[in-house]
Structure formats: structure tokens, C-alpha cells
Amino acid sequence: MTKRTDPFMGMDVTKLMSEFKLPGVDMTALTQAQQKNIDAVMAANQRAMQGMQELAARQAQILQETMTEAGKAAAALAADTSPDVKAREQMELAQQALNKALQDMRDIAELMTKSTNETFEVINKRVAESIDEARKLVEKSS
């Protein structure tokens, strides 16, 4: 992560929590676990933001390509040719535009799926770690 803000605003939460001295509760481990949870959420948010940026960049690229192709198509259709040739060219252009649109939609769907999977992977990993940590704390206190 590039920039990290302190969610505890400079307080030493470990020290603060240790003052409560609950029997059978390792406050240091509990505090560390919560810090890991916060770190995981921040990492997931960062990955989600990267995914959004990738998606926006791809959409801008698609728009630029579409405008370029539209200009070429307009120039081709403006050429002085017979009605039969123009009709055939229009059909070919329509088919090419449809194929391009479908491919672009596939690309965007793949980007979104990749970003979502990577974001959830961060959270799922932390949930598994958290369950394991809780199990160990219970075993330790028993």
C-alpha cells in the first residue's frame, strides 16, 4: 500500500486494551488480529480501486477506437460508388461494428471479473486467517 492512515489516530490501542485485563483473553493477540483485519480491508479497497481504474482506461480506449472507426466508415461510405457497393459496404461495416462491440463487452466483463475475484481473494484469505487465529486463541485459553 502506498499511503496508510492510522485508524487509531496515534493511540496505542494495545496498551489501552491491556489495561482492561479480561481473564483468558490475550488482548495483544486480539488487537493484532483487528489490525490485520483493517489492513485486509484497506488492501481490498486498493485492489478494487485499481480495477475501477483499469476499467475506466479500457472504456476510454474503446471510445477512442470507436470514434476512429466511425470516421473511417463515414469516409468509406461517402465515396462515389454504386448503390449495390454501398449497401454491401454498409452491411460489412455493421457486421464489423457488432463483432467489435461484442469483443469489447467480453473484455470489460473479464476485467470486472478479474478485479472482483482479486478483491474477494484478499478478504477471503483474511477471513480464513481470522478463523484460524480464533481457534488458536480458544485452544490456548483452554
pLDDT at 89: 87
The 10s digit of each residue's pLDDT in 24-81 is 667 777 778 888 999 999 999 999 999 999 999 999 999 999 999 988 888 887 887 8
Sign of the CA dihedral 125, 129, 134, 136? positive
* C-alpha–C-alpha distance, residues 103 and 109, integer Å: 10
Give me the amino acid identity at 63: L
Distance set, CA 54 to CA 27, 96, 101, 114, 129 (Å): 41, 25, 18, 11, 29
* C-alpha–C-alpha distance, residues 97 and 91, integer Å: 10
